[in-house]
Amino acid sequence: MTTLFTSDHEWLRIEDDVATIGITDYAQSQLGDVVFVELPKVGRSLKKAEAAAVVESVKAASDVYAPISGDVIEVNEAITAEPAMVNSDAAGKAWFFKLKIADKSELGSLMDEAAYKAHTA
C-alpha cells in the first residue's frame, strides 16, 4: 500500500486499483473546526482536478478536488454525520471517498510523504 499527496493537501492510499482519499492533518488545521462535509455520490465519474467534495468550517467553504480520475465506489458517511472527525483524525478515520483508479499514470505526478512534508514546511 502506498500513500501519496497532492499540493492541495489531499492524501491518497493506493491499494491495487482503489484509492482512498482524504485531506491532510495540515489541511484540517488550516481550515479550523469542520462543521459540514458534502461528499460525491457513489457512481460519479470524477476527472482529475475536478471539485469532488466540500468541507466547511464555521467561517468558510472549501472544495476538495479529485487528485486523480476515477469512479466513486464508496463514500465515508461517518464524516457527514460527525464533521468534527475531520479535525480529530484527518489522516485516518476521516477519509472522504474511494475511487476506482481510471489511469494509474496519473499517480506519477503526485508527491510522496517526504515531498509533501517539504511542501508544508
Partner 1 sequence: MMLVRDDVTPLNRTPLHGLHVALGGKLVPFAGYEMPVQYATGVLREHLHTRGSAGLFDVSHMGQIKLRAKSGRVEDAALALERLVPQDIVAIAPGRQRYAQFTDEAGGILDDLMVANFGDHLFLVVNAACKAADEVHLRQHLSETCVIEPLTDRALIALQGPKAESVLARFYAEAPAMRFMDAGPHRVAGIACFVSRSGYTGEDGFELSVPAEHAEALAKDLLADSDVLPIGLGARDSLRLEAGLCLYGHDIDLTTTPVEAALEWSVQKSRRRGGARAGGFPGASGILEQFAAGAPRRRVGLRPEGRAPVREGAALFADEASSESIGKVTSGGFGPSLNAPVAMGYLPSSLAAPGTRVFAEVRGQRLPCRVAATPFVPNTYKR
Q: Is 32 in the site for partner 1 (CB under 8 A)?
A: yes
* Residue from 15, 58, 92, 115 binding partner 1 (CB under 8 A): 58
**How near is the Cβ of 33 to partner 1 at its closest, in Å?**
4
Taking the C-alpha atoms of residue 71 and residue 92, their distance in angstroms, rounded to an integer, is 21
Nearer to partner 1, 53 or 101 (CB): 53
**Judged by CB under 8 A, does residue 59 bind partner 1?**
yes
* Residue numbers 82-121 binding partner 1 by CB under 8 A: none
Q: Is residue 6 near partner 1 by the rule CB under 8 A? A: no
Taking the CA atoms of residue 96, residue 57, residue 30 and residue 116 in that order, the dihedral angle to the nearest 10 degrees is 20
- Give yes or no for residue 36 binding partner 1 (CB under 8 A): yes
Q: Is 80 exposed, middle or buried (0-12, 13-18, 19+ CB in 10 A)?
A: middle
Task: Give the integer Cα–Cα distance in Å for 21 and 11.
Answer: 6
State how far Cα 110 lies from the chain centre. Answer: 13
Binding status of residue 74 toward partner 1 by CB under 8 A:
no
- State the residues that interact with partner 1 by CB under 8 A: 32-33, 35-36, 38, 54, 56-61, 80
